[in-house]
Structure 1
Amino acid sequence: MTPVIGILSPGSMGSAIGASLRSGGVRAVTTVAGRSERSARFAADAGLELAEDVDALVRAADLILSVVPPSSARQVAQDLNASFARVGRRPLVADLNATSPATVAEIGSSLELIDGTISGPPPRPDGETRIYLSGPRAEMLASVEAPGIRWIVVGPEVGSASAVKMCTASVYKGMSALLAHAFLTAEHHGVAAHVLADVQQLTPEALRQPIQAATKAWRFIGEMEQIAQTQKDAGLTPALFDAIRDVYTELASSAWGERNPEDVPATLDLSALKDLHPR
């Protein structure tokens, strides 16, 4: 039987996952209680069924997906445990957040947990967003039809999927931070056009990449801390991603950091850099 799936929370990513699940015939439920108008709009656009609050969501769902900023992952787990106690049932939880293996193990100590991580943009019908899964119940979620999502089971251990995310995110988000610093430094020296032309041979989206990242920089700060911890736990220096966390802290204070990803225009030129400077 296809499970009823609850989603916390219905932001850009969570709502898009919900829409993919609905396309696969799944009953997808969320709640917008306490959420922003933007999140409520995403949920409505995705056609998600709305529950009155978290307790109502827990009553309805067989499986709950946690899709929140890394800094909120522990709090969501605590809120779910409190709701489980009030409602008297304990649905399975899939933590799809960008957290370290150590953090997800901590969260899993009080929940029946699927470890999961998302790689790629919010899913869409013509795309293939990858969601890595691990843990004893991972196959249960991987069997759910969701057009636009490719479920990839890493293994039976909680923490393995999160390890994948910490490594891939270190490359993708590390590159965006490097590009931001390179372009701002180049602008200072009056050579930004030459640097952009050169770097575009490596990645055609070289200018868009740091601009888009800046609009989500507030969310990435906690993720960089999780990456630094993961690398430290592997016996490596955390200094690299401690520094990249600082880059995202600065980008979050820029004019682009106050905007949303959908605010980035289809075409960009070097004038966009003026709004990338930290304030």
Structure 2
Amino acid sequence: MAIVSPGAMGSALGRGYAEGGARVLACVAGRSQRTRALADGLDLVDSLDAAVEAADVVLSVVPPGEALAVAGAIRRSAAAAGVTPLVADLNAVSPATLARVGQALGGLDLVDGSISGPPPRAASTRARTRLYLSGPRAGEIAALAHPRLEPRVLAGPVGAASALKMSTASLYKGLAALFLQATAAAQRAGVLDAMLDDVAPTFPAQVAELGSWLALSASKADRYVTEMREIAATQAAAGLPSELFEAMAVVWERVAGSPLGALSPEQAAGVTDAAAVIRALGLPAAGFPPET
């Protein structure tokens, strides 16, 4: 198996599959020191060509804006080596973008996948991680042994898993964006504590871990921008207004440019002060002057 690429999610997936008995290859050439550290324990090779040539299965786990380019790179590597690995695209993209991924792969078979939950790490005490899969060969990916992953094959063609991801992500990440905007407005008005007290019975988990939740979300904001636009495209294709998630993309774009947006998820994990997080995000509320 080849993992493209071994970031936080990809490396955790890869280590679990290695524990399940697979040989898991990855290339970190040109990647950051953080990615190199995350890939510890995987079988590192010098190039994508080498990883794809040796693999029966290739998993694409990249930011949504990179999915098409990565698909093209996998196709070129496979063609150069004369191999035909099964490719699973596990990225947060719309069904329409996934169709373009399939085209970019040329004749390689494609499994559509979406990940729900945190990276499946051995020491994680967080929620379960599910891998939803669709397409004619989805069962082959679901059959791969992984001790901390719940594979679920969906009825329907390639595209069904991506459609599910667009719906679930619209709630998970849309809710985070709503909390960002609402708490920023409340803090500017001096009513943050009262607001949180009012909404805590309805959103107990979010309020209890507000600082760490918003900080972790902010550290991933750069990839959320494209993801919100993929969601907007999915909803437009369903005959729904796209403006809501186009606006969510604007929110995450601004967050990505904040000091918290520059943190890695590992750095953000140590940030817990909700009021400090909201100030650092720099989201001024309409009707209230910025703090001085």
- Counterpart residue identity of residue 235, structure 1: G
**1:114 maps to 2:117:** no
1:159 paired residue number: 159
| Distance apart, 1:195 and its partner CA | 1.5
Residue by residue over 1:127-163, the C-alpha shift from the partner in whole angstroms, topping out at 9 and shown as x without a partner, is 5200100000000010111011000101240000000
Q: Counterparts in 2 of 1:200-279, with a 5 A limit?
A: 200-201=200-201, 202-206=203-207, 207=210, 208-264=212-268, 265=270, 267-278=272-283
2:70 paired residue number: 76
| Distance apart, 1:240 and its partner CA | 0.6
Structure 2 residue corresponding to 1:65, chosen from 17, 38, 59: 59
19-28 vs 58-67, which deviates more? 19-28
| Distance apart, 1:205 and its partner CA | 2.9
In structure 2, the residue corresponding to 1:249 is in which secondary structure? helix
1:103 paired residue number: 97
- Counterpart residue identity of residue 271, structure 1: A
| Distance apart, 1:105 and its partner CA | 1.4
| Distance apart, 1:88 and its partner CA | 1.4
- Counterpart residue identity of residue 240, structure 1: L
Q: Gapped runs of 5+ residues in structure 1? A: none
| Distance apart, 1:211 and its partner CA | 2.1
**1:27 maps to 2:23:** yes
233-242 vs 207-216, which deviates more? 207-216
CA–CA distance in structure 1, aligned partners of residues 197 and 22 of structure 2: 46
Q: Counterparts in 2 of 1:104-143, with a 5 A limit?
A: 104-109=98-103, 110=106, 111-125=108-122, 128-143=128-143
**Percentage identity across aligned positions?**
45
| Distance apart, 1:76 and its partner CA | 0.1
CA–CA distance in structure 2, aligned partners of residues 200 and 266 of structure 1: 20
Q: TM-score, normalised by structure 2?
A: 0.90
| Distance apart, 1:86 and its partner CA | 1.5
CA contact (8 A) 1:99 1:166 kept: yes
2:195 paired residue number: 195
Q: TM-score, normalised by structure 1?
A: 0.94
- Counterpart residue identity of residue 155, structure 1: A
| Distance apart, 1:200 and its partner CA | 2.8
CA contact (8 A) 2:255 2:281 kept: yes
Residue by residue over 1:9-53, the C-alpha shift from the partner in whole angstroms, topping out at 9 and shown as x without a partner, is 010000000111112122111110121111010001xx1001110
257-266 vs 222-231, which deviates more? 257-266
69-78 vs 22-31, which deviates more? 22-31
Distance 1:255 1:266, change over 3 A: closer
In structure 2, the residue corresponding to 1:123 is in which secondary structure? coil
| Distance apart, 1:278 and its partner CA | 5.0
Moved over 4 A (4+): none
In structure 2, the residue corresponding to 1:38 is in which secondary structure? helix
| Distance apart, 1:98 and its partner CA | 0.2
187-196 vs 246-255, which deviates more? 187-196
Distance 1:260 1:197, change over 3 A: farther
In structure 2, the residue corresponding to 1:225 is in which secondary structure? helix
CA–CA distance in structure 1, aligned partners of residues 175 and 102 of structure 2: 31
CA–CA distance in structure 2, aligned partners of residues 86 and 97 of structure 1: 24
In structure 2, the residue corresponding to 1:155 is in which secondary structure? coil
- Counterpart residue identity of residue 214, structure 2: P
Structure 2 residue corresponding to 1:15, chosen from 11, 16, 23: 11
CA contact (8 A) 1:138 1:156 kept: no
CA contact (8 A) 1:115 1:138 kept: yes
CA–CA distance in structure 2, aligned partners of residues 222 and 258 of structure 1: 17
CA–CA distance in structure 1, aligned partners of residues 45 and 180 of structure 2: 41
Instruction: Kindly tell me the number of residue pairs found equivalent between the two proteins.
Output: 273
Q: Gapped runs of 5+ residues in structure 2? A: 285-292
- Counterpart residue identity of residue 24, structure 2: A
CA contact (8 A) 2:184 2:283 kept: no
